[in-house]
Amino acid sequence: MRTVEWHDGIVRMIDQKALPWKTEMVDLPNYKAVAAAITDMTVRGAPAIGASAAFGMALAAKQSSATSVGEMMQDLGQAADVLKAARPTAVNLAWAVDRLMNFAQVGKYPTADAIREALLNEAQRVADEDVAINKKMGANGAALIKDGDTILHHCNTGALATVDYGTALGVVRAAFEQGKKIHVLLDETRPRLQGARLSAWEMEQLGVSYDILPDTAAGYYMQKGEIKIVLVGADRVAANGDFANKIGTYQVAVLAKENNIPFYTVAPTSTIDLNLATGAEIPIEERGKEEVLTPYGNPLTPEHFKARNPAFDVTPHRYLSGIITENGIARPPFSESLKRVVAGEQV
């Protein structure tokens, strides 16, 4: 099944908060519900967020009472603002909303109904493209995986984080489908445990060998020589190759460098933001302290204790061996190679 899809005039998605205990679908009747699902992480993962936002824009057009193109564009502008505010770090969110807005721009379609139809078709195109792009990235990255490799992975980047197939775990999937015998070590990824809950669930569905690790154990297994390659995802990549990903990625990258282990991020070109010169310009989302102190309603400390909860960190490009995209593997200097892959060149 797809993580998110258009179903009978509404947006349907897997409730990622319920996994791995239950597999549930939620139906979202309007764009505000889509924005709320993005904020509360019912749906998560940059590509999945982008597709959800695209369908949210199509839903806003469908439910708008506008009878003129001008009124429709006004309603879409309001929906765009709400959706883009849902989570600030993942560039795919703004990318998808802007793509739909540009598609509906005044003068392109003669009527409000024409915009409604066009936006639904474009949102579906965003979702379908994501699946095809993921499979290309998987094939490109699988060439780096050797038979018998143990791979370290942080957070969740499989089918759940995309429309289908996956980014970094899509590489794992592609290598597994090629018949390579591989083993994956999954950082649990506190505080929301995307690795322990979601990545492990996905590996079980695929039949891939895995172990969950405490986040603090990655260096131990690197030092022992068990880990041959590190694969992670990205929520936004700056023009120089710095990238934001789930909190804890930076320390994994530093440990990999110290232990001479190749470290790759896997990201579609829609995640590359050439408008940002460096990772210092990437906005970092801060989430509530309850995720740290009371994960999934289970209190770890007295509720008055203080906590800080950045959702992402930025890994400097000097720690990267390469960035796996649908157009090949971008390598240093990233200021040149990223321009090429974004332009559609094969590298």
Name the residue among 241, 315, 268 with its Cα closest to residue 171: 268
Q: How far is CA 31 from CA 57, 86, 144, in A?
A: 7, 11, 40
Q: Pick the catalytic residue: 130, 164, 187, 235?
A: 235
Residue 269, class by beta-carbon neighbours within 10 Å (0-12 exposed, 13-18 middle, 19+ buried)?
buried
For the record, the structure tokens of 197 come out as 């809950």
Give the full edge-to-edge strand order of the sheet including 183-187.
209-213, 183-187, 150-153, 229-232, 263-266, 322-325, 328-330
One-letter amino acid of 79? A
Q: Does residue 40 carry a catalytic annotation?
A: no
Q: Which residues contact 169 (CB under 8 A, 6 or more apart)?
A: 153, 156, 157, 158, 159, 161, 199, 202, 203, 231
Quote the CA–CA distance of 47 and 54 in Å, as a whole number.
11
**Beta-bridge partner residues of 187:** 213
Which active-site residues does the annotation give?
235
